[in-house]
Homo-oligomer: A and B are copies of this chain.
Amino acid sequence: MKQHAIFELAKTELASVEQELASIIRSRVDLVSDIGGHLLRAGGKRLRPALYILCAKCGSQVPAGLVPVAAAIELIHMATLVHDDVIDSAATRRGLATANARWGNHVTVLAGDYLFAKAFSLIAVHGGARALQILTETICSICEGEISQARDLFNPRQSMEDYLTRIDNKTACFIAASCELGAMTAGLTTADAEALRLYGYAIGMAFQITDDLLDVTASSEQIGKPAGNDLRQGVLTLPVLYALQHSPQAGELRRIIEARDMTDANVQKGIAVVHTTDAVEYCYGRVSDYLTTARRALPASLPAEVYKSLWDIADFVGLRKY
């Protein structure tokens, strides 16, 4: 199943979102436009605006302000990715040089701030106070999740529960908010908006676990960034935490992590320890559980074509190989 197929129902609006994004990143200062253009070309799945749009289409008519709010949602996501690049000193994202590798931390932080400000400006005009409230709380959660991640780098004593709380904050919460906002825009009942929030949360958890799994199972070419990157940077993901609890070679893995000696050989050794266990199978099991939760959360009252799209997105997340 291809991405464009699952987002078919939101195709027209997503094309308008791309135009809106292109127009927003134009600035009086060349460097701002350069960085914005680079970010835009780097692309992305547009998962959050797509979910927002699909949920917003559950009402009797297409709501006003749909496209600018969807663009604002993607701008917030882009801003967090840009600031994430500062953080990780990551050299590539999706196969392209990251903003910070091209422009330095300095300008990259500012470009992220600029995107945040543009996003809030759009929401102020088109989204209303409640949308703004939900999205600002989301950003606070993302920051708290990322700061927890920073605090727990190279810490083998963190639990799988710590990991789940962290990815809830840093990923699932935003996807949940995108769905909830869409539902509110469509004028759905509070119960249905909460159900779609739960759907988004579960999709987000599944999405992030899959992402983290790919780091220990896929090749660098497949995922467009160096494989084993999380472990190299001390970010301990679910398969690694599982292996720390279940592998007979857990002591070896713990020593590599605590020594922070992340040579290519040690990263490979660490990943090999993960594969001495059924960590990958366990994680796919968790992903499958979350996707079941997501599907079950879908209110039966949704328009049939939206229901089908959201269902297909759950399938897509489960099948994702890169």
Contacts and interface: CB of A to CB of B under 8 A. Distances in A.
A117 B136 contact: yes
B83 A110 contact: yes
A111 interface: yes
Secondary structure dominating the interface of A = helix
A27 to B, nearest CB: 6
Interface residues of A, number: 43
Interface in A116-138: 116-118, 120-121, 124-125, 129, 132-133, 136-137
Contacts of A125: 129, 133
Copies held by the complex = 2
B114 A143 contact: yes
Contact of A143 (B88, B105, B113): B113
A87 B105 contact: yes
A144 B111 contact: no
Given A132-B120, A132-B121, A29 B147 contact: yes
Contact of A116 (B111, B116, B151): B116
A110 B31 contact: no
Interface of A: 27-29, 31-32, 79-80, 83, 86-88, 104-107, 109-114, 116-118, 120-121, 124-125, 129, 132-133, 136-137, 139-140, 142-144, 146-148, 150-151
What are the 6 A-B residue pairs with the smallest beta carbon separation, nearest first? A121-B136, A117-B139, A124-B132, A114-B143, A87-B106, A29-B144
